[in-house]
Amino acid sequence: AQTPVKVTVTGAAGQIGYALLFRIASGQLLGADVPVKLSLLEIPQAVKAAEGTAMELDDCAFPLLSGIEVTDDAGKAFDGANVALLVGARPRTAGMERGDLLQANGGIFGPQGKAINDNAADDIRVLVVGNPANTNALIAQQHAPDVPAERFTAMTRLDHNRALSQLAAKLQVPVTEIMKMTIWGNHSATQYPDLFHAEVGGKIAAEQVDEAWLRDTFIPTVAKRGAAIIEARGASSAASAANAAIDHVFDWVNGAEWTSAAIPSDGSYGVPEGLISSFPVVSRGGKWEIIQGLEIDAFSRERIDASVRELEEERAAVRELGLI
């Protein structure tokens, strides 16, 4: 029988964790023929809740689930891990300054990066979901010098999927008709969903919608969708975030055509090297590759630059705090 793939999920007792773990165990993360072993990492006060989730996972009798461990020890959680989904993070609370937020998250993602460095399997792939995701991924990466830098990624796939859904509704086409959607930059309000390369029915999407809708409705709707969902449901968008995490890892491992992922920049499109920024990507042979050679119009350039500037400021701030 195939050796199970070890998948570590942090913040496993949280909302996203609850929406994510059952789908991983059912085979949706890696493929319907790949056995998995789950490791649930939590802070001590949430271990009991994570154990409750583990009991429910047991009760599903998933044929592909070969074992579950629950721990508050990062070294143990990442020991031999092949995939790490870093979901647990310190949320921004009212009145919290950016420096405090980054400091709190540095205290989580620095040690986790080191634990990954020292314990994970050679093929470890890391997806950071916990916000500020891009910079948390950078912090973890900088504490894992022995792991190839490109194994640290952050999630912009939910933004990508939201952009597909908004455009499909506007043009009244199935999402499957839309190709070449891209989210650029930071997973934050400055992100830039780009319709100048997206195609619907083989024609550029930006040419099929009016400019005012693109600028004043589409871009802000995609960027602020999380807040709209909290407003409507009274709880955050945990299930769609979990779904996007599944999409990201599945595509990374199994290959994919044009999609969006935040990966370390190689300097493409003027994004300073090393920043973990969202790009148009394909997945080939288990690696993300940035799609090259796209022309960037002035409207897009301005927005990509603004989001990348925010990433640079976050990197400068965590450097100043000594977190990287």
Residues contributing to the annotated binding site for NAD(+) = 11-17, 105, 112, 129-131
Q: Which of 17, 110, 193, 280 binds ligand NDP (CB under 6 A)?
A: 17
| Part in contact with ligand NDP (CB under 6 A); list of ranges 10-18, 29-37, 146-154, 278-286 | 10-18
| Part in contact with ligand NDP (CB under 6 A); list of ranges 83-91, 246-254, 286-294, 308-316 | 83-91
SS3 78: coil
Question: CA torsion sign, 118 to 120 to 122 to 124?
Answer: negative
As to burial, measured by CB atoms within 10 angstroms (0-12 exposed, 13-18 middle, 19+ buried), residue 94 is exposed
143 is known as an active-site residue? no
Alpha carbons 146 and 119: distance in angstroms, whole number: 11
DSSP 219: H
Catalytic hit among 143, 160, 187, 197: 187
Alpha carbons 212 and 235: distance in angstroms, whole number: 31
**Residue 160 C-beta: closest distance to ligand NDP, Å:** 12
Place of tokens 């859904």: 165
Kindly report the number of other CB atoms within 10 A of residue 29's CB atom. 24
**Residue 206 C-beta: closest distance to ligand NDP, Å:** 25
SS (H, E, C) 9-43: EECCCCHHHHHHHHHHHCCCCCCCCCCEEEEEECC
Q: Which of 21, 30, 64, 87 binds ligand NDP (CB under 6 A)?
A: 87
Q: Which of 29, 89, 138, 219 binds ligand NDP (CB under 6 A)?
A: 89
In the range 224-263, which residues lie near ligand NDP by CB under 6 A? 226, 236-238, 241
Binding-site sequence positions: 11-17, 92, 98, 105, 112, 129-131, 162
Kindly report the number of other CB atoms within 10 A of residue 53's CB atom. 22
- On whether the CB atoms of residues 160 and 260 are closer than 8 A, the answer is yes
| Part in contact with ligand NDP (CB under 6 A); list of ranges 27-35, 125-133, 173-181, 298-306 | 125-133
DSSP 155: -
In the range 260-319, which residues lie near ligand NDP by CB under 6 A? none
Question: CA torsion sign, 238 to 239 to 242 to 247?
Answer: negative
Q: Which is nearer to ligand NDP, 9 or 200 (CB)?
A: 9
| Part in contact with ligand NDP (CB under 6 A); list of ranges 81-89, 94-102, 114-122, 196-204 | 81-89
| 221 in contact with ligand NDP (CB under 6 A) | no
Q: Which is nearer to ligand NDP, 89 or 222 (CB)?
A: 89
SS3 49: helix
What tokens does 10 get? Answer: 């942090």
**Residue 32 C-beta: closest distance to ligand NDP, Å:** 26
Nearest to 38 by CA among 48, 242, 17, 123: 17
| 81 in contact with ligand NDP (CB under 6 A) | no
Q: What are phi and psi of 280, to 5 degrees?
A: -75, 130
Q: Which of 10, 135, 191, 265 binds ligand NDP (CB under 6 A)?
A: 10
For 6, the enclosing helix (H) or strand (E) is: strand 5-10
Q: Which of 131, 166, 243, 265 binds ligand NDP (CB under 6 A)?
A: 131
Binding mask 22-61 for ligand NDP (x = CB under 6 A): -------------------xxx--x---------------
Half-sphere exposure of 153 (CA within 13 A, CB side): 29
Residue nearest to ligand NDP (CB): 14
- Which residues are designated catalytic? 187
| Contact residues for ligand NDP, defined by CB under 6 A | 10-11, 13-17, 41-43, 46, 87-91, 108, 129-131, 158, 226, 236-238, 241
